[in-house]
Structure 1
Amino acid sequence: MNVNTKILALMTAMAVGMAGAVGTPANTQIKNTATASFEDPTGPAGNTTGSQTSNEVTTTVAAKSSFNVTYLGSAANTDSATTGTATDTLPAEYKKTANQGETVAFKYQVVNTGNDTQTITLAPAGATGAKLVAANDPSVAGFAGNFTTLTPAQKTGVDAATALSSVSLAADGVREFWLVYTVPAGSAKASTVGATPVGSGNIWNGTANAAVTEAQATSPFLQYSAVVVYTPVAVVGPDGAPEAGASGTYADPVDANTTITRSGDTQTAAIRAGDTSTTFINTLKNKGDATDGFVLSGPAGVTFLTASGAAFTAAGETIGGLTYILEGGLPTIKGVAAGATANFRTVVPHDATAGAKSVTVGIDSTSDADTAPEDTTTNVVNVPGLLFGDSDNNKATDPVNTVVTRPVTTTAGTTVTFPMEIKNTGGGSDTFLPSAPNLTFTVVDANGTQTTKSVPVEYLLDADCDGTADNTTVITTPGVTIAAGGTACVIAQVKVPENVVATTTPITLNQTVTSGSGLTATDTDDTITVGVVAGSAITINKSQTSTAPAVPGNDLTYSIVAKNTYNTAVKNFILTEQDGTFGGKTTNVFQYGTFKTVSATVANPVLTTPAKVMYRFNSGTWQVSATPAIALNTVTRVDVAIDSNNDGAINASDTIAPNQELTVSLTVTIK
């Protein structure tokens, strides 16, 4: 059986997804000859040999032109209307997502649906710079499927290729090609960029083959493709918690002594005094639909390091499939898959200025055109600070360093207090421990023995800052916890012992406060002065010790005991026997008696070499001998004193110590 070649061509076209062609090829000749059969009347009855053939009529099939440019895939051979780049009218294969600056390619076909051979003109419309490239061009040899995003090398090849501008197709002929265009750099997120091939050729209008160009509103329709500019979605947060909700702590990876506390979308470092930088770990997460890269941003001075702690370089470092690289001078993490996370380090420098130093860290997707960060997180460094000084009983004002002197004027024992203030000027809560070395006081006992006593300086809390301790609980390690910017009032307490000896110079409190963060502040100008106790005196008790009758010629002996009851040494002390009226009392011992002897002893405490007792008669020269150099019956005045510095003179350099007693025995003969 003869097979019509036209039918074979049609079957082949349908096998590749072609729309049905018009039919018989143009210029085909349709020939028609009529024949008749009958009984030849000239022959025997019933014969069938009679026949007759008509003339041949020949008709040439005219050209009925038609063409279409259509999608491939599920929408192949359709001619539905599209409304430009509106993605809701496009088939799934022809609405994609791409990043600004990327070049995409969609595959199309042009079909000759007419019965004649015709040349169809092709041109792109829509996206600036769109180009048509034949599917058999070497530059697109690596393209797969009906959509592809070009690599830089592929784009270079396409740019150099000859654009497809027309095809000559026989009836039912098909030619595939790629529509290539670039999403303009700087395209806004979620904006749409698209293009369409436009075919021009002849289409039978019922009476003639008219020139037709594909249009938006009439068949054959334009067949747009479109890409929606990718909208990156990403978050960044504290170590291990990019989506906020962070909690817990970790150590600075460089300085293990620094604890970093995570809370929500913030992480805070509690540093020690003297630290100059803090290293945080931040974590980002790509919540978008495509692999993406992210540029790290922060204020001036902040340095970003890779997850390993290395510097970002132009050569890059690959860690766990991610590339940490310096691009355009900006630290960038590339190759973060959808749903994946990446760690990086943020080094925050700081000086000793107290307070909270807050640093905002941002991540900006490399897929979009803007430089606004997709998300930010906060790293805070609490730089410690401390003020310490005397209190004015007002927490709202800073402590002051004024000289505060507390006088002690009793030997009964007393407690001296100094209201103090500690202010936390740092950025975070801290502990503060006040302390001072023990103070040394000199005390004297009933025997005149002087010893030193070490007394601690104790600190008590004064919560309401009224200058009075709340209770008797002594502050111990680790001290008082004070919130950032807060003030604690404390009372420095010194329990001055009994029988304290007056001081010639103030006793200084060398107060210090140390913080848990390593800060130290001092107040070294507060003092205690132990003065002479009011009401103290030199006591003198005189008694007659002789027992013989007080008659002329007999001796009369007196004992005079002088005691220093002051809490300080008394200078230039001289005990005198002479006639006269003193304090309303009369002395006439030398009027009725003749000097015979004098002697003296010292007790509480006794004298130690080289100190000695000295005597003076009639205001003459001081001498060690108790025997006067003048006639005994001429003695009218006897002075007794202690030469405590052994210089042979009695003056302000000589003292009688607290509780020390000078006992003098004086004998005269009654005239």
Structure 2
Amino acid sequence: MKSPLLSLVVALAAGSAAAAGTPAGTPISNIATASFIDPNDGTTPKTSQSNIVTTTVLPKPGFDVNFSGTTVDGNTPVAPVTGATSGAGYYPADYMKKDVVPTTAGTNVDTKYTLVNTGNNINPVSLVADVSGKTATGIALTGPALPTVEYYLDLNGNGVIEPGDTQLTGPVSIPVDDPLTPGDEGKVTIIQRIKIPTLAPKGSEYFVSPQGTGQQYITATSTTDPAYVEPSTDLQYTYIKIANPSVDIVPPADTDPSTPTITPPVPGTVPGTGGPVTDPNTYVPPANPPGGPATTPGTIVAIDPATGDQTAYPPADTNPAPDVVTFVSQVTNNGTIPDAVVLIPPTGLPPGTIVTLLDGNGNPITPDANGNFPLGVIAPGGSVPFRVIVTYPDPDGGTTPIPSIPVIIGVDSGNDPDLTPNTSGTFTVNPPNVIFGDTNGSTATPTNFPNETVVPGTPTGTGTAQTDSSAVFPMSIVNTGAYPESYTIAGSVTIKVINPNTGVISDQVISVMYYLADVNGNPTGPALTTTSVVAPGVQLKLVAVINVPINAASTNANGVNTPLLISQALAGTFSGIARSDNNDTLTISVVNSGPSGIEIAKTQTSANSNALPGNDIQYQIVAKNNFNAQVRGFFLTEQGGVVGTGTNTGTTSNMFTYSTYKSVAASTNFAGNLLVRFNSAAWQPLAAATAPATVTRVDVGVDNNAGTPDGAITAADTMPSTGVITVNFTTTIK
């Protein structure tokens, strides 16, 4: 029988002419690897392995019985043909036995044959002899006129039956050739012993061939015949011709020239916390005198009904010009006679504070020789209004506490000889002011710029540890103004988030949450948007917390970190005073959302169900960037000899030991040109690549080079977060 895999095996396993490929049961293991630059520092080369995929080679049995010493296979039981090199009439020299003389003691004709395992599993083969013969005149021989045949194992392969060479009485198990060795272990040598009948007719011819029965893979039906019999067209006959002795009485030398010499004919020879908020707006403003001017818009003035003293609570403004508060009051003559009353201006005012006294209509009052301001004669029981205008430096933006500004205006009666005030009124201005910033002992420092690092996907936290997904900033509000106030607080940071399904990166605004700080500086109570009332000179300690979502993109790009600025703002609920702290920053660590930063899933397709020598193994490798950052210099590799790590520990890939490269194709979900490289040589466009005759390594990458592909995979080529590359890789089992 002629093996259908013989030509394939010759091509793939030189030195094993009879081998049918990789032995059945051989595991073909494949581990794909990814190479890339660590996105944490942008410089360190890293690798990642796929899961190991193992294909177990299936049996593809086959066998053949050959003449030993020649690769010519098969002849037919016909007489030798002079010059024949194969087929009908062809017999190797050692298989053409002429002039065999039968004897009464028994004549044996021994010829050597080789049982060849052309499959990839141990094959038990049984032998029978195909025997035929005919007389010198062409009459078919039968029965005892035909020789009997025995088969022996030829242990040393010398073709001679020796002690230890046992006669075969059952199947011969032909071992499997090891394609990794130069020799051929898939052979068994036997000796065919033809026992010539004692009464073999003179000149008769015998044709004897071993005929094997064993396992054979049938290509046409893709099935295995467990008892396949070699066809008659695939037998290798030994030819025997029995001697035809001729004895005659020959006269002496011809002495008669007239008698011709007769010369007889000579036969020719054939050659695979905070409390309730108190709103300062609950202060009740005084009513303006009938017909009198309005006070400064937005200012609340409280009047003490017992003393007539007034206290102003001005709001903040957004300009740096001095602030002004106007008080409206009046002097009443409680005497029984008219009185010429004067106002005595204040002394000892804070630097920059100016007090202007006007009449009730807001007109200037001309001071007298003593520098006092006459209001004129007031009839008994009568009253005269006046205004006190207090102008003081704008405190907004400063960090120095601002005290109350008391303005004392004396009132002197003209009905006594002295200039000592008979009474006085106090007009107090309480300016607002506040400091908002990072806690710095007993104060707040807006100019500090702490950075907090978070790790997306980890639990949230309340401390300043850099190992959770919460950024925590100790913050403080210090009321440096002159009246109590509550404040609204708000903050936010804009981060990049990655859609886990599409890979699209978009902006997401994350709000800052504010909590009261306990004695240890930890958040306590519910989140606040408005604080409790903070008394002048009091520090309110808070904790600002930012919880980063699991799909946050890293601020680190190729080893360069660009922290995100956090916007924080405060506003007085009454004064409207505004403060901000916009220099704290947030760093988002590089993390991965999967089993590994670069996750490689390798599978085999359904086409691998028939893993026979000569058939293809089709692999699909899907590599995904699970980092929340892009990676550079990425490419996938298929090669043999990869030593497994992690869950692959203890294994080594042998794909190119037992299979050969056939094809590669790829696709991605991000922009770039697909390239392939064979045996670490030059990169080629994948669609038009030419593979060398022998392939031991295949690399596939995406060339985008910041939008300008350059035909090679370098550190300038990037794979975005959630980027996926799918490679379909095919090899053929040897």
| TM-score normalised by the chain length of structure 1 | 0.55
Rate the CA distance shift 1:486–1:592 in 2: closer, same or farther, 3 A: same
- Equivalent-residue separation in structure 1 for 2:392 and 2:500 (angstroms): 58
2:600 is aligned with what amino acid? I
What does residue 303 of structure 1 align with?
356
- Kept after mapping to 2: 8 A contact 1:643/1:650: yes
What does residue 184 of structure 1 align with?
none
Q: What do residues 25-52 of structure 1 show as CA deviations (whole Å, max 9, x unaligned)?
A: xxxxxxxxxxxxxxxxxxxxxxxxxxxx
Given candidates 332, 335, 342, the residue that maps to 1:285 is 332
Question: Are residues 1:342 and 2:384 paired?
Answer: yes
- Equivalent-residue separation in structure 2 for 1:248 and 1:289 (angstroms): 33
Question: Are residues 1:647 and 2:709 paired?
Answer: yes
Q: Secondary structure at the match of 2:473?
A: strand
Given candidates 574, 598, 613, the residue that maps to 1:538 is 598
- Equivalent-residue separation in structure 1 for 2:451 and 2:284 (angstroms): 50
Rate the CA distance shift 1:531–1:381 in 2: closer, same or farther, 3 A: same
- Kept after mapping to 2: 8 A contact 1:388/1:513: yes
Q: Secondary structure at the match of 1:541?
A: strand
What does residue 569 of structure 2 align with?
512
Displacement of 1:599 after TM fit?
0.9
Given candidates 422, 427, 432, the residue that maps to 1:379 is 427
Given candidates 511, 514, 523, the residue that maps to 2:581 is 523
What does residue 498 of structure 1 align with?
550
- Kept after mapping to 2: 8 A contact 1:391/1:399: yes
Q: What do residues 258-305 of structure 1 show as CA deviations (whole Å, max 9, x unaligned)?
A: 121112433111112246221112222334443222221223632111
Rate the CA distance shift 1:548–1:514 in 2: closer, same or farther, 3 A: closer
What does residue 202 of structure 1 align with?
none
What does residue 686 of structure 2 align with?
625
Q: How many residues align?
A: 404
Gaps spanning 5+ residues in structure 2: where? 1-282, 348-353, 396-401, 461-469, 557-561, 645-649
Gaps spanning 5+ residues in structure 1: where? 1-245, 314-324
What does residue 409 of structure 2 align with?
361
Alignment of 1:163-202 (within 5 A): none
Rate the CA distance shift 1:502–1:548 in 2: closer, same or farther, 3 A: same
Which deviates more from structure 2 when the two are superposed, residues 344-353 or residues 404-413? Answer: 404-413
Displacement of 1:379 after TM fit?
0.7
2:586 is aligned with what amino acid? I
- Equivalent-residue separation in structure 2 for 1:667 and 1:416 (angstroms): 49
Alignment of 1:367-516 (within 5 A): 367-392=415-440, 396-399=442-445, 401-411=447-457, 414=460, 415-437=470-492, 439-462=494-517, 464=518, 466-476=520-530, 480-504=532-556, 505-515=562-572, 516=574
Q: Identity, % of aligned pairs?
A: 33
- Kept after mapping to 2: 8 A contact 1:459/1:492: yes
Displacement of 1:511 after TM fit?
0.9
- Equivalent-residue separation in structure 1 for 2:653 and 2:284 (angstroms): 94
- Equivalent-residue separation in structure 1 for 2:720 and 2:473 (angstroms): 31
What does residue 260 of structure 1 align with?
301
Displacement of 1:307 after TM fit?
1.4
- Kept after mapping to 1: 8 A contact 2:443/2:478: no
- Equivalent-residue separation in structure 1 for 2:443 and 2:528 (angstroms): 25
- Kept after mapping to 2: 8 A contact 1:560/1:664: yes
- Kept after mapping to 1: 8 A contact 2:522/2:543: yes
- Equivalent-residue separation in structure 2 for 1:460 and 1:501 (angstroms): 26
Rate the CA distance shift 1:461–1:562 in 2: closer, same or farther, 3 A: same
Q: Secondary structure at the match of 1:572?
A: strand
Displacement of 1:465 after TM fit?
5.9
Displacement of 1:597 after TM fit?
0.6
- Kept after mapping to 2: 8 A contact 1:360/1:376: yes
2:482 is aligned with what amino acid? G
- Kept after mapping to 1: 8 A contact 2:284/2:300: no
Question: Are residues 1:563 and 2:627 paired?
Answer: no
- Equivalent-residue separation in structure 2 for 1:569 and 1:248 (angstroms): 62
- Kept after mapping to 2: 8 A contact 1:593/1:669: yes
- Equivalent-residue separation in structure 1 for 2:608 and 2:570 (angstroms): 69
Rate the CA distance shift 1:294–1:472 in 2: closer, same or farther, 3 A: same
Structure with larger Rg: 1
- Kept after mapping to 1: 8 A contact 2:608/2:616: no
Q: What do residues 578-632 of structure 1 show as CA deviations (whole Å, max 9, x unaligned)?
A: 2324345423333443321111122xxx234xx232212222222222454352x
Q: Secondary structure at the match of 2:543?
A: strand
Question: Are residues 1:634 and 2:694 paired?
Answer: yes
What does residue 321 of structure 1 align with?
none
Displacement of 1:567 after TM fit?
2.4
- Kept after mapping to 1: 8 A contact 2:673/2:709: no
2:685 is aligned with what amino acid? V
- Kept after mapping to 2: 8 A contact 1:355/1:428: no
- Kept after mapping to 1: 8 A contact 2:495/2:552: no
Rate the CA distance shift 1:487–1:630 in 2: closer, same or farther, 3 A: same
What does residue 665 of structure 1 align with?
728
Rate the CA distance shift 1:586–1:445 in 2: closer, same or farther, 3 A: same
Displacement of 1:451 after TM fit?
4.0
What does residue 112 of structure 1 align with?
none
- Kept after mapping to 2: 8 A contact 1:510/1:524: yes
What does residue 91 of structure 2 align with?
none
What does residue 286 of structure 2 align with?
249
Displacement of 1:421 after TM fit?
1.1
Rate the CA distance shift 1:565–1:256 in 2: closer, same or farther, 3 A: closer
Q: What do residues 398-445 of structure 1 show as CA deviations (whole Å, max 9, x unaligned)?
A: 445322222221325744433321112111123322223453341332
- Equivalent-residue separation in structure 1 for 2:375 and 2:612 (angstroms): 123
Q: CA RMSD in A?
A: 2.9
Which deviates more from structure 2 when the two are superposed, residues 381-390 or residues 255-264? Answer: 255-264
What does residue 171 of structure 1 align with?
none
1:524 is aligned with what amino acid? N
Displacement of 1:328 after TM fit?
5.2
Alignment of 1:2-151 (within 5 A): none
Displacement of 1:531 after TM fit?
0.7
Displacement of 1:446 after TM fit?
4.2
Q: Secondary structure at the match of 1:471?
A: strand
Which protein is richer in strand relative to its size?
1
Higher RCO (CA 8 Å, separation ≥ 6 residues): 2
- Equivalent-residue separation in structure 2 for 1:456 and 1:448 (angstroms): 24
- Equivalent-residue separation in structure 1 for 2:571 and 2:376 (angstroms): 47
- Kept after mapping to 2: 8 A contact 1:573/1:654: yes
2:509 is aligned with what amino acid? S
Q: Secondary structure at the match of 1:421?
A: strand
What does residue 192 of structure 2 align with?
none
- Kept after mapping to 2: 8 A contact 1:443/1:498: no
Displacement of 1:461 after TM fit?
3.9
- Equivalent-residue separation in structure 2 for 1:669 and 1:641 (angstroms): 23
| TM-score normalised by the chain length of structure 2 | 0.51
Displacement of 1:390 after TM fit?
1.1
- Kept after mapping to 2: 8 A contact 1:406/1:416: yes
- Equivalent-residue separation in structure 1 for 2:546 and 2:683 (angstroms): 45
Q: Secondary structure at the match of 1:547?
A: helix
- Equivalent-residue separation in structure 2 for 1:653 and 1:337 (angstroms): 94
- Equivalent-residue separation in structure 2 for 1:425 and 1:553 (angstroms): 87
Question: Are residues 1:579 and 2:640 paired?
Answer: yes
